[in-house]
Amino acid sequence: MSSSEFDLADLERRMQGALSVLKQEYSGLRTGRASVNLLDPITVDAYGSSMPLNQVATVSVPEPRVISVQVWDKTQVQAVDKAIRESDLGLNPIVDGQLLRLPIPELNEERRVEISKIAAKYAEQAKVAVRNVRRDGLEQLKKMEKDGDIGQDEQHTQGQKVQDLTDNLIKEIDEALAAKENEIMQI
């Protein structure tokens, strides 16, 4: 094993994965406007297993403040209704046959603060994921040095690159959080 086998690009790819998950979660956070991504985190207990909402229904936005959920199988309407009500999105579906209409209420200050806290929680989860990747990389470097595959200087140099990569991604996560909080707090 040589230092060329230490894959910094793989660590970067894994850290970027945490950032892309964060951005996907943020696309589902409600900011007072209807978005089909708002319902992405919702899973429905259907057919004996937990399934994403988009696998049992079609989600659309016919109006700026309304989300429409067309359930494909009428036996699953109650399960979809229950999943939406039990989510922490604060939505109350209006059931009309197999169609559920979700009016998006104006966000009050209390709800905006609540959603900001959820955004911060998502950001913290992303930071933990990035730090876990950093830890894996540093442990791999220490093992390579212990096994005699790389020298102490090389281990230190590569370790610094891993730390720089971590710092950059943490900064990107903080920037994404600040942008989302700004979007949430806009009236």
Q: Which of 50, 84, 103 is the last residue of a domain?
A: 103
144 and 86 belong to one structural domain: no
Count Cα atoms within 13 angstroms, Cβ side, for 169.
31
Average pLDDT over residues 43-47: 84
pLDDT tens, position by position, 61-112 = 888 778 888 888 888 888 888 888 887 777 788 888 888 888 877 777 887 8
Total domains in the fold of the chain: 2
Quick one: which of 169, 147, 144, 168 has its CA closest to 157? 144
Q: Which of 103, 127, 156 is the last residue of a domain?
A: 103
Assign 97 to helix, strand or coil: coil
Answer for the pair 30, 38: CB distance below 8 angstroms, yes or no.
yes
pLDDT tens, position by position, 171-183 = 999 998 998 888 8
The pLDDT of residue 187 is 59
Answer for the pair 171, 23: CB distance below 8 angstroms, yes or no.
no
Quick one: which of 118, 79, 86, 130 has its CA closest to 100? 79
113 and 97 belong to one structural domain: no
Q: Which of 78, 103, 128 is the last residue of a domain?
A: 103
pLDDT tens, position by position, 133-175 = 999 999 988 888 888 888 888 888 888 999 999 999 999 999 9
77 and 63 belong to one structural domain: yes
Look at the pTM and tell me if it is higher than 0.75. no
CATH number of the domain encompassing residue 70? 3.30.1360.40
Answer for the pair 84, 69: CB distance below 8 angstroms, yes or no.
yes
